[in-house]
Structure 1
């Protein structure tokens, strides 16, 4: 490859005279390392030496940050260390030779998730309900309900339970709030009842007030934890394959030059990533690197935070409006200082109590992650809390430990509400896979509340997949702080088909024998019946129970009969929702989050599919409600055109909706009914018009052609119609009447005589 100075010396005489002009602008076809970029860029030619703008270099993949120049600056190519070029004025081309360190790597996103589109919300009202009735010594009924209004400005929700029968009839309000989210800033504002933010070394409590914070759920495509990247380079276009712990996770193609594989999937904890590059000749290059991924950490530069101010709520689910009259303030924050260090902070303030603390997650390379925190309190509760933890996960072994100690009379806002902080907590969990189908897990949990002896609980579990449908479980536990407080259990479960499962277990707990035999069949999501039966003995008493469920289009109903120690009771339950939207009222299954109301413009009995799964058919008004959508994610909804009448047409059979959380969206399929018919055209003597003659419908302006046996298809018919036919040796006009008929929406009319047009006089 020739550099610019050598090229100037070796260029033929005619080219030297061509380049002898002092300075001029030239437009050149650019190639990089011999590969054509298909770009034509403006250069400055000064006696065969080229310069170009930074913006032009950026467009062909040059990393301007390595050159230290902005887009607007003119760059002399001969002054760039490591860059060479071959300039051919006659061919008006230049081949720039770039080392990998000056090029922007081609990015390969192995997750393949598209950027989250902006979510939308219609306007409507949702009434969720859950009615429960049981017979015991008396008759009791409870009715839970949620009233939810939504529009583009946010969601307002109120929930509670009404109790009827028994000793008292009352209504208990749970939560009342309004919330609004902004996808661009990833922030959510909530006014009303809420739960304060917390970290793994602090506690939450219920307040009524305001909450404002970062909400990563608004961007499901965003990877918030540190994920390693792999860098490599290829001389020619190549195929790349990524393997994580020996399992292929991605395959794709890369252009010549450097490339980076981002957001490596399929791993939590320690593992190994192997990148294999293969060119067209079959030559392969393999690169392996160790990885460690902890989803609890934040990627470098990312931050999350939440601030709350309000009044502490007391006796939730027992009283509707029991709030403290003194305000409180809480705040939590996390920041990814680097991919190996995540910082945390939390603070609480109220009259007479102040609490603040800081913590961190530190990745120890491939040796796991250490976490720790230190917080202190002052005022009515003065003291400190120290916590330390360690986690290490790999396919062959994992350990998770956490310990917390209090110093002095440490307290938080919960301490003011008679919920003291545990004086001491300890947790250790060790898991060990035994081959592909067996595993052992051992755990120890210890905690001590103020003025109470420390509780120490140990457990061990062995699990074996004896078959793809058979699982054996052996578990044991012991409370080391109490005598005669241990147990051991042996269980076996068997899957029969996709929904039916049978199981049996035996054990001994607190000195008593226990057993259980059960069978159940889950309710299919598409709708249908489910059931469960159980016979067993626990706590020294015999237990027998049976349950039946039915999931339909409008909700779930269930009935259960239970006999516990000779005491029999029966219960019934019904859950669902009623939606008011787009001027219609429609019952549905319970709506926990987002949904779509499908409209077919009044066309009934049209099959609706969600992610290629058939959900049902539109009702008599042309509506079907699709529950259980994923908020802030792409949801694909379609209708089956085969169910449409022959005399209707529509623009599309598919729709993509992205609903906001707690809201509904309207998915309208424009179904247009039109008048059409097949018309048989003949000449006055009864012969069919020739094939290929052009037909023009005067009333609509539509065009068609004559087929075999004089048949042509005409759309958008009027009561009186006129056809002009030309070509294939004919020129005539046909007229006919059309009357719509529900029994024959697409009739065949004719024969219709096409009268010849008079010949033009010369």
Structure 2
């Protein structure tokens, strides 16, 4: 037997192994194949390239090598051959590795390929590690471009345990009076949710006045039932509603059914074209994306082509840069020009709506006045590409058919957005047409918006059949330029109506914000001139100065054709998160001389305000307003602020006085029943609700301290923090010899189930133990008897107990 020192033997065995590997690489290949079968190659799993039937030259030594391309491990094993010191591979194997070379698609592609003969490819064979290193030009990497960045988020889901029925009443009461008359009006909305699919809503107005010509009345506004399908972004509404529209059509109020695409059901999804950036890397690299000098993303990429899809982080023109830094520290920069427009849809994405029913008449004055004839309309928008969005619209009713098509497209890379549309109608007035054109460009300092819409006398839409007239021509031109902290803008508006004089106005606006001593102050100056009459010029000068977080003072002066007015005022706004007071005072001189004073209060149960106005004529008007809501949910009535969207009832399982936070802002504490109403929440979004366990009594056990509340449209939900009161018992146990029980000793109940583990110095902690229970310590062959009576909750230290 040969003996040697440990270090010497280690190097001897290593040298012998390397020699064996170099002398017989096929033996290593066999070992690699065996390792592949056990899934333990190179400390991780490697995948054998699946290239179908492979052919190697006769007499070639077969090798299974781990492939590394451009210093990036592929995680794959390739079957190659060794012939006279040269490596050959089947073309299918190389194609499966993502390589393409001259002639790889030809008739001779089936013959084995000598790796060293592929133009531009450097080959290195590491026999000791059985690795094949290839340095390949990016042009020969045929794999698809790796895509990173934005991916559509999953559709929001409503947890079944958060569903709870409820009935909500929103109200807004306004009363006013002077020495001549008094009036009272109330807007209300009633919602029913959680009792079935969707939400039911009804709204109306109640009025009362002491004037003889105005009697008390009530008018229904809208009644509807809405059902949402967030996975498909589709909303169905039955009842009163507003039809869909495009920029060159009109929306109408109707009663019937509306089925539409609703992007608000997936609020985290981006619908406008993404900012897509493409590049290539020869080595594993880090890619940094900068937009207007601010880094927006960082991504690790492998060799080959790549594409990064980023969410649009600007509106208008911008400049982007991709900085590609490889593993050797070498960097290169790629620059791109950007233009993002909200009028465009992502390629392949569609937006649509379909309505059928009858138009509303005398809305706000009559409760059930509808047109005699039914109507139907539909609107459609489709992203034909990231630079082109196609549009279509159609309407029909008795005696009218109207249809049109349009397009919105991005001009070049940063040339702005142009739009055009054409519509035609056929009615009793004959055949009519409508044309519209528009252009918009928005830069960091300069922006322009111009549009025109023209109709002939015979053109009609559904709304015009009920007496809603269409103008013959509408022109709009707007141009603005940024001046540091200021902005300068000019506008031109023209509208022509059949058989009526034209209206043409030119406007000018200048605004300036201030820093340093007047930080937050804002000054604006505007003029408006009637080009038809030539004398109707009005102007307004306005200055506002913030005085802290909630206080503000302002002054204004205006001149119109009928006279001039100057005003000064100050106000304090009420904070939104907690109950707070607000006020407002104003004094005016000139043609509208007078004053106003108002006091307001924002509380958890609603908002109210009272005030008075007085004019030169000596008439004083006093008014009062109260708005809020009442919610019936979880068997209780909750006075609340007016709910515009969704809300939640937080439950702490009957534990009172628990502080609750919404998006890390304290919004209140639970009442004596362990309930708190939290409003407002955003429907179909993850609203972060949390509690602080450090503020709870020590005898409260909490299941979780944070949850994401996702409510449905205009509905309430139950957000439950599971918790309960416990009786916590602590004691120390000594054995029969007076020694502490050994740490780690298991205490078991009489049925043998483990109850607690003994800590150092014999300490034991229990939650809700059975009164009078007996705990057995198996290793010490003794038992501990608990007190016969224990309180319902609290912390109890029993001191030292003897294990008998």
Return the TM-score normalized by structure 1: 0.87
Per-residue CA distance 1:394-435 (angstroms, 9 max, x = gap): 112111001122223212112112111111111010010012
Find the aligned partners of 1:678 and 1:21 in 2 and give their Cα distance: 80
Structure 2 residue 517 is matched with structure 1 residue 506: no
How big is the shift at 1:282?
4.4
1:131 to 159, 167, 173: 173
How big is the shift at 1:375?
1.0
The secondary structure found in structure 1 opposite 2:465 is helix
Which residue matches 2:147?
Answer: 107
Find the aligned partners of 2:562 and 2:348 in 1 and give their Cα distance: 56
Which residue matches 2:673?
Answer: 621
How big is the shift at 1:704?
2.2
The secondary structure found in structure 2 opposite 1:452 is coil
Find the aligned partners of 2:526 and 2:432 in 1 and give their Cα distance: 40
* Pairing 1:127-526 to 2, within 5 Å after superposition: 127-136=169-178, 137-151=180-194, 153-166=197-210, 167-279=214-326, 282-365=329-412, 366-381=414-429, 382-435=431-484, 437-467=485-515, 468-526=519-577
Per-residue CA distance 1:192-229 (angstroms, 9 max, x = gap): 11111111111111111111121222222322222331
Which residue matches 2:711?
Answer: 659
Find the aligned partners of 2:207 and 2:134 in 1 and give their Cα distance: 79
Find the aligned partners of 2:609 and 2:24 in 1 and give their Cα distance: 95
Structure 2 residue 788 is matched with structure 1 residue 735: no
**Contact 1:695 1:706 survives alignment (8 Å):** no
Find the aligned partners of 2:113 and 2:239 in 1 and give their Cα distance: 65
**Contact 2:566 2:590 survives alignment (8 Å):** no
Find the aligned partners of 1:34 and 1:341 in 2 and give their Cα distance: 41
Find the aligned partners of 1:212 and 1:90 in 2 and give their Cα distance: 67
Which residue matches 1:696?
Answer: 747
How big is the shift at 1:115?
3.7
Per-residue CA distance 1:615-661 (angstroms, 9 max, x = gap): 11111111112222222222211112123332221221111122221
Structure 1 spans left out of the alignment, 5+ residues: 1-9, 69-74, 756-762
Find the aligned partners of 2:577 and 2:469 in 1 and give their Cα distance: 47
How big is the shift at 1:114?
4.6
How big is the shift at 1:283?
3.1
Find the aligned partners of 1:306 and 1:83 in 2 and give their Cα distance: 56
How big is the shift at 1:256?
4.7
Which residue matches 2:583?
Answer: 532
Q: Report how many residues are paired.
A: 727
Change (3 A) 1:681 1:457: same
**Contact 2:316 2:443 survives alignment (8 Å):** yes
Structure 2 residue 586 is matched with structure 1 residue 556: no
Find the aligned partners of 1:403 and 1:280 in 2 and give their Cα distance: 55
**Contact 2:434 2:455 survives alignment (8 Å):** yes
Which residue matches 1:118?
Answer: 157
Q: Which moved more, 1:390-399 or 1:505-514?
A: 505-514
Change (3 A) 1:684 1:263: closer
Per-residue CA distance 1:33-52 (angstroms, 9 max, x = gap): 33224x46697999974587
Find the aligned partners of 2:556 and 2:99 in 1 and give their Cα distance: 66
Which residue matches 1:752?
Answer: 801
**Contact 1:45 1:51 survives alignment (8 Å):** no
1:630 to 682, 701, 709: 682
Which residue matches 1:677?
Answer: 729
Find the aligned partners of 2:747 and 2:705 in 1 and give their Cα distance: 29
Find the aligned partners of 1:395 and 1:153 in 2 and give their Cα distance: 47
The secondary structure found in structure 2 opposite 1:217 is helix
Find the aligned partners of 2:674 and 2:152 in 1 and give their Cα distance: 34
Which residue matches 1:33?
Answer: 70
Structure 2 residue 697 is matched with structure 1 residue 645: yes
How big is the shift at 1:176?
0.8
Which residue matches 2:760?
Answer: 707
Change (3 A) 1:14 1:410: closer
Find the aligned partners of 1:315 and 1:402 in 2 and give their Cα distance: 31
Which residue matches 1:71?
Answer: none
The secondary structure found in structure 2 opposite 1:288 is strand
Find the aligned partners of 1:383 and 1:168 in 2 and give their Cα distance: 44
How big is the shift at 1:165?
4.0
Find the aligned partners of 2:555 and 2:384 in 1 and give their Cα distance: 51
**Contact 1:420 1:450 survives alignment (8 Å):** no
**Contact 1:126 1:149 survives alignment (8 Å):** yes
Find the aligned partners of 2:530 and 2:568 in 1 and give their Cα distance: 27
The secondary structure found in structure 1 opposite 2:514 is strand
**Which contiguous aligned blocks of 4+ residues in structure 1 show a shift greater than 6 angstroms?**
10-13, 16-28, 41-48, 51-54, 60-63, 79-90
Which residue matches 1:592?
Answer: 644
The secondary structure found in structure 2 opposite 1:453 is coil
Find the aligned partners of 1:298 and 1:545 in 2 and give their Cα distance: 48
Q: Select the structure of larger CA radius of gyration.
A: 2
The secondary structure found in structure 2 opposite 1:320 is coil
How big is the shift at 1:90?
8.7
How big is the shift at 1:474?
1.3
Structure 2 spans left out of the alignment, 5+ residues: 1-20, 31-55
Change (3 A) 1:98 1:161: farther
Which residue matches 2:16?
Answer: none
Change (3 A) 1:105 1:588: farther
Calculate the aligned-residue CA RMSD, in Å: 3.5
The secondary structure found in structure 1 opposite 2:378 is strand
Change (3 A) 1:620 1:701: same
The secondary structure found in structure 1 opposite 2:593 is strand
How big is the shift at 1:237?
4.4
* Pairing 1:537-548 to 2, within 5 Å after superposition: 537=588, 540-548=591-599
Change (3 A) 1:589 1:96: farther
Return the TM-score normalized by structure 2: 0.83
How big is the shift at 1:154?
1.1
Greater share of strand: 1
Find the aligned partners of 2:76 and 2:659 in 1 and give their Cα distance: 52
Which residue matches 1:758?
Answer: none
Change (3 A) 1:482 1:668: same
Find the aligned partners of 2:251 and 2:124 in 1 and give their Cα distance: 67
Change (3 A) 1:725 1:368: same
Change (3 A) 1:674 1:264: closer
